[in-house]
Amino acid sequence: MPQSFTPEKNSNIVILTGAGISQESGLETFRDPDGIWSKVRLEDVATPEAFAKNPHDVHSFYNMRRERHRVATANPNHAHMALARLEAQWLGQVTVITQNVDSLHESGGTQNLIHMHGVHSKARCNHCQHIVSWEGDMSTETLCDGCGDAGGMRPHVVWFGETPLELGRIQAALVECDLFLSIGTSGNVYPAAGFISVVQKIGRAHTVELNLEPSLGAELFDEGRYGPATDVVPSYVDELLETL
């Protein structure tokens, strides 16, 4: 396994991020010992079936997370800011694909960003598909300002069993990728966890995992850098920028 790699100056970089990149900004991850799924079952709060069966519990879950996210949003960490620095200074294309529904990449300065699992900051009506920016709590009484109905408003996030967003744009980025980075994700959730296999099969990119600990897919990467994202990500970005 090659230990380091110097990409061409105008090469394309694709970066997949997960909950681990936001952990040092104060947001809980999902599968760490004290993570979100240790307190509530995803089947009860993050599937369309759960929303149909018990919308009150789902709204309470997302109202709580939206409030936590609101507090954290002003606090992108050095990992988020290092990725924005890379995008600003790199000569090739830098694309961030995040599984996260928080807005920390935006507040950290990233521009070319794909939220494949949606965002806390938007709501969608199940009845008319109208999408609106959203900040406060939501309930079954919330009225849609598109169709005027109550009972259909839901978080604009992708639940388990739903199709992730912007898969065409993601596929196009993976095909053109020369350097694939995976940051702060455990490799549990598909199709995101399968992107490393897509990139390896294409055979064009050097691949690096930057994580607190090896993920489920660690063996598939050419390189691994392990430690807190606010350490390993800025130092890796500095290494890349020093090649310019």
Catalytic sites, residue numbers: 117
Closer Cβ to ligand BV8, 35 or 151, answer by number: 35
Residue 53: Cβ within 10 Å count: 11
Candidate list 55, 108, 164, 217; residue touching ligand BV8; CB under 6 A: 164
Euclidean distance between CA atoms 188 and 81, whole angstroms: 26
| Candidates 66-74, 86-94, 182-190, 196-204; binding stretch for ligand BV8 (CB under 6 A) | 182-190
Candidate list 85, 117, 154, 156; residue touching ligand BV8; CB under 6 A: 117
Tokens 């005027």 correspond to what residue? 148
- Report if residue 182 touches ligand BV8, rule: CB under 6 A: no
Candidate list 174, 229, 237, 240; residue touching ligand BV8; CB under 6 A: 229
Angle between helices 78-89 and 229-242 (to 10 degrees): 20
Contact 206, 232 (CB under 8 A): no
Candidate list 11, 12, 14, 24; residue touching ligand BV8; CB under 6 A: 24
Euclidean distance between CA atoms 160 and 20, whole angstroms: 19
Q: How many Cα atoms within 13 Å fall on the side-chain side of residue 195?
A: 37
The mark string for 71-110 relative to ligand BV8 (x by CB under 6 A, - otherwise) is ----------------------------xxx---------
- Report if residue 220 touches ligand BV8, rule: CB under 6 A: no
Closer Cβ to ligand BV8, 19 or 179, answer by number: 19
The mark string for 198-217 relative to ligand BV8 (x by CB under 6 A, - otherwise) is -------------xxx-x--
**181 membership: H or E segment, kind and range:** strand 179-183
Q: How many Cα atoms within 13 Å fall on the side-chain side of residue 138?
A: 29
